[in-house]
Structure 1
Amino acid sequence: MRGYVFDLDGTIYLGDKMIEGAAEVIRVLRERGDRVVFLSNKPIATRQSYAEKLTRMGIPTEVEDVLNSSLIVARYLKKRIQSGDRVYVIGEEPIHDELREHGISLTDDYEKPDYVVLSWDRQFTYDKLNIIYQAAINGAKIIASNPDATCPLDDGQIPDTGTFIAALEAATGKAIDLVAGKPSLIAAEAAVEHLGLSYGDCFMIGDRLETDIRMGNEAGMDSVLVLTGVTTREMAERAQDRPKHVVNSIKEIVGL
């Protein structure tokens, strides 16, 4: 029995277009007794919506089979915040909802929060950048949902949370406190715990070297790069985070 941790955008689908062969591969893996979990860094939709999208595409999926960076941030904070800690969020409604569902009280007072959760926000502004900058220099812990610089779509890419992290770090001159999603070992641990297997019994399949492949390598999984997203074979050959396997698309996963 093996475990398969699949990225979504660029691996299973691009935007609203499923990558050819994805549904058949997932079906075969499940039928032969392997375990599958989906792990996305994308925090602008709920896990329920991801499960519904996959199901519509022909991959029957329960919400429990989807992990995303919003969930990982919520679990991390729930274990660490103390009574009275103030958590301020820059991000879209799905990550607010996930945090609240985990019992985390959010504040609208951005003057002196204890934590700032920085996530993908398609209404990001200079004022929001200044809020997190002032919070950071005043001692707030900055927790980012994911480090992705861009998100792949079927017709190109758009800026993601990593661009906001870069702006903040340029202003403060130091790294933020934590990135919760891939490539963190927090995300890797969440995936293998769900599968109930050891790291060495799992494949990490994704399209990004700096998130999917780095996490797989550092956690001790078999890392697999698919060439249907943002990374080319040439990029992989000269990268520091080199995958153990490179395949043209998800269609080749069954044969590994």
Structure 2
Amino acid sequence: MKPYGTYIFDIDGTLIRGNEALLGAVETLKHLRETNTQILLVTNNPAETKGEISKRLNQIGFEIRKQEIITPIDALKIYFQNHQPTILAITNNSIKEEMRNLGWQVVSEYTNSLPISYVLMGMSQEITYKDFVEGVRALDNGASLLGMNPDLFCPTQEGRVPDTGALLSCLELSTGQKATIVGKPTKWMRRAILSAIHHPVSQSVFIGDSPYTDLAMGVELGMDTVLLHTGITKYKNVELIHQPTRLLNDLQELYEAING
């Protein structure tokens, strides 16, 4: 395998499943760190802040800094550039707080007295039926629908759970409005990644388990790609629209290829 200056990894289904590191993941990142290779983690995780993600990864055994993580919030910053949106957020409370810290007006309920610019959906175990009702009301009164990521499910230790893409369908079907997605593999996430890499795309590689988000993101960036059989393809047969540069079972095979 040719050497790269920047290695970009997806997280869930690539490095970890739930709170367990996948085979070869810790060793691969440790080796890259020791060789002064740039590491970036680009996730569609809509439920955790960078601080929460880095803390969880470090507890598992990785050594990750917050500034090495790119999330849909980074894509939202680009999407809302030069705007001061009012957002009805159907997300975890920590995500709402992170958006407020960016200076955005974030609410959890629709009222006639406050025009809502956007209804933002992100996978959350805190979501209730009332949240969907509030979202429909805001959309019926002129708000635009945003999704933090398009993923239909997320792999966990216990199996898979519905992700943002599946939850968005309820609002889309109820209102007839199609959501705009900001996470991988969109142009807003592409711009967030390009602003963070230290090497040209020709010297960078994108590694993940999803052909729909990770492989597509790498192709959009013009990078080499590595698709792993550790996440999405474990649950469904996938017809690849794009062919990855390398197709591997897991990161143990990548570690061996890097050291081979």
Q: Do the two structures share a fold, i.e. TM-score over 0.5?
A: yes
2-structure distance, mates of 1:120, 1:234: 21
CA apart distance, 1:64:
0.7
Contact 1:151 1:158 in 2 (8 A): yes
Question: For residues 107-143 of structure 1, what are the alpha-carbon distances to aligned partners after superposition, in whole Å with 9 as ceiling and x for unaligned?
Answer: 3451430122211122333332232233223321222
SS in 1 for 2:99: helix
Distance 1:198 1:132, change over 3 A: farther
Residue of structure 1 in register with 2:135 after alignment: 132
Matching of residues 46-195 of structure 1 within 5 Å: 46-77=49-80, 79-82=81-84, 85-111=85-111, 112-176=115-179, 178-195=180-197
What corresponds to 1:249 in structure 2?
250
1:243 aligned partner, one-letter code: P
Query: What is the CA distance between 1:104 and its match in structure 2?
Result: 1.3
Identify if the C-alpha distance between structure 1 residues 20 and 109 changes in structure 2 by more than 3 Å, giving closer, same or farther. closer
Deviations 1:191-218 (A, max 9, x none): 2321222333221111111111111112
**Correspondence 1:211 to 2:210:** no
The amino acid across from 2:244 in the alignment is P
Alpha-carbon RMSD: 2.2
Give the deviation of 1:75 after TM superposition.
4.6
Q: 2 CA distance for matches of 1:228 and 1:17? A: 13
Counterpart CA distance in 1 for 2:94 and 2:162 is 18
Partner of 2:18: 15
Moved more, 191-200 or 141-150: 191-200
Unaligned runs of 5+ in 1: none
Identity of aligned residues (%): 28
**TM (normalized to structure 2)?**
0.87
Contact 2:74 2:192 in 1 (8 A): no
The match for 1:197 among 196, 199, 210 is 199
Alignment of 1:27-42 (within 5 A): 27-42=30-45
User: Aligned partners of 1:151, 1:81: CA distance in 2, in Å?
Assistant: 31
Deviation at 1:234, TM superposition (A): 8.3
1:143-164 Cα shifts (integer Å, max 9, x gaps): 2111111110122101111112
Deviation (angstroms), 1:249:
0.4
Q: Is the contact made by 2:90 and 2:108 (CA closer than 8 Å) also made in structure 1?
A: no
Taking the aligned partners of 1:93 and 1:222, their CA distance within structure 2 comes to 36
Cα distance in structure 1, aligned partners of 2:193 and 2:76: 14
Distance 1:71 1:167 in 2: 25
Greater CA deviation, 6-15 or 109-118?
A: 109-118
Would the aligned equivalents of 1:6 and 1:205 in 2 still touch at CA under 8 Å?
yes
2:70 match: secondary structure: strand
Amino acid at match of 2:202: G
Task: Give distance in 2, aligned partners of 1:252 and 1:108.
Answer: 45
Q: CA–CA distance in 2 between the matches of 1:251 and 1:192? A: 27
Query: 1:233: Cα distance to partner?
Result: 11
- 8 Å CA contact 1:51–1:61 kept in 2: the answer is yes
